[in-house]
Chain A
């Protein structure tokens, strides 16, 4: 369960501030050049996006962001300033589709950037669904950020939370909790806990707050 990080909403200017001073001059120049390039020729995103980490590094910024994810998110934010929503949605879906594990996480993380999320509306829900279908804890954690809180329907949200419990993603990383917890989720958690207990297995400690209230 290493390297699990939350997705937290930020404006792109915050990412710029974080990278300022963290990037070596050559890396900063490279990123600035690629942002200009993607603005001028959006079709190049597909070959710029995968190359980012070895240019800017992979240092951790905080409990949500790494340098490479921030840089990749800034490329998408730059694209968001010059293309219509449909185009951004397709570009994001493609970098996710063709991405390796780190690129997929970065695509999901970019949904936490205000400008990207605002332009996309609910168009990126299919990539959330894909990430939630996987058994990759890191993708799951990255997917359940503020964009998922805003756009996943109640059924999908509950199933995603249950999958976190099942696969060991701490619920503290799920942006939509506790606000979106409801009676149905509590019942699912309670049933899950009962199954674990019946099997003689431990119940994750962080689900106690989400169990259905037992009558005394």
Chain B
């Protein structure tokens, strides 16, 4: 099983996580810029964070044979802090970089007017830099937030195939499927989605235009939920090819729209060896 985790915050994870991910077939990932738990109060903190997303963190990932890419944005939660608004001014410098494969996470947290402005401004940046967009949907008032998100995306004129709407569940998936946007699901140990609920949604809505991620971060989360979902799919009768589509080919297709994915050497099909690696052996043994 080859896995591309399209949404995981490795900055908050340990090298043990990288080792476990590599052993379970994770060969590539995208780390979206988001908030860090502790609110930031100046642009400088964001600049250092962005530098880490294009510098130190890809280096760490490479030590485990994992390709690291990132998305860059001012996240909706911190968009409400006037001290952080100037982050918008430095985004173009980062959106032009090689390892940056989307604008994100953007979207709504509390659906304030400030969030409206920042969301719209960043959708314009996505168009200007010809990048896909990763849209976060709110934890509270999710259904209404999702509806409003889709309206804003529609008004922006962006091609829906360039947009993934993330953190969906049974209540919000239908509307996003109808919009033509990609559907993103974060599989968590307790909250959001679990592997069995994910399998039920895949059964109902199919395996096209869907991204499954662990969204693992500094909170209680699990970087192997992608792998667990793949196993649950197989147990429910999905083929290995279906699993490969959801966990590898779909994220490659979505982020590949940036023209900046670097997967050479990491994308050998299942059964192939990667420099005689132990990745598949690890996966089978666990």
Contact = CB atoms under 8 A, between A and B. Distances in A.
Contact of B98 (A48, A54, A94): A54
B252 interface: no
Contacts of A46: 92-93, 96
A53 interface: yes
A53 B94 contact: no
B82 interface: no
Nearest to A54: B98
B55 A100 contact: yes
B263 interface: no
Contacts of A54: 98, 259-260
Contact of B94 (A48, A94, A98, A101): A98
B97 interface: yes
B24 to A, nearest CB: 29
Contact of A53 (B47, B92, B98, B259): B98
Residue among B47, B90, B92 with most chain A CB within 10 A: B92
Contacts of A49: 96
What does DSSP make chain A's interface, helix, strand, loop or mixed?
helix
Contacts of A150: none
A54 B261 CA distance: 11
B55 A51 contact: no
A51 B96 contact: yes
Residue among A47, A48, A51 with most chain B CB within 10 A: A47
Interface in A64-109: 94, 98, 100-101
Interface string B59-93: 00000000000000000000000000000001011
Interface string B267-281: 000000000000000
A49 B98 CA distance: 11
B98 A50 contact: yes
Nearest to A95: B93
B47 A47 contact: no
Interface in A150-169: none
Contacts, number: 33
A51 B128 CA distance: 13
B43 to A, nearest CB: 12
Interface string B34-53: 00000000000001000100
A43 B132 CA distance: 25
A53 B98 CA distance: 8
A93 to B, nearest CB: 13
Residue among A46, A100, A101 with most chain B CB within 10 A: A100
Nearest to B99: A100
Contacts of A51: 96-97
Interface residues of B, number: 15
A50 B55 contact: no
Contacts of B47: 98
B95 interface: yes
B216 interface: no
Given A50-B96, A51-B96, A53-B98, A101 B55 contact: yes
B97 A100 contact: yes
B54 interface: yes
Contacts of A48: 96
A46 B90 CA distance: 9
Contacts of A98: 47, 51, 90, 93-94
Contacts of B54: 100
A47 B98 contact: no
Contacts of A100: 51, 54-55, 97-99
A47 B94 CA distance: 8
Contact of A47 (B55, B96, B259, B260): B96
Interface of B: 47, 51, 54-55, 90, 92-99, 259-260
Interface of A: 46-51, 53-54, 94, 98, 100-101
28 contacts: A46-B92, A46-B93, A46-B96, A47-B92, A47-B95, A47-B96, A48-B96, A49-B96, A50-B94, A50-B96, A50-B97, A50-B98, A51-B96, A51-B97, A53-B98, A54-B98, A54-B260, A98-B47, A98-B51, A98-B90, A98-B93, A98-B94, A100-B51, A100-B54, A100-B55, A100-B98, A100-B99, A101-B55
List the 7 closest A-B pairs by CB distance, nearest first: A50-B96, A47-B92, A47-B96, A50-B97, A51-B96, A98-B93, A46-B93
Given A46-B96, A47-B96, A94-B93, 11 more contacts: A47-B92, A48-B96, A49-B96, A50-B93, A50-B96, A50-B97, A51-B97, A54-B259, A54-B260, A98-B90, A100-B55
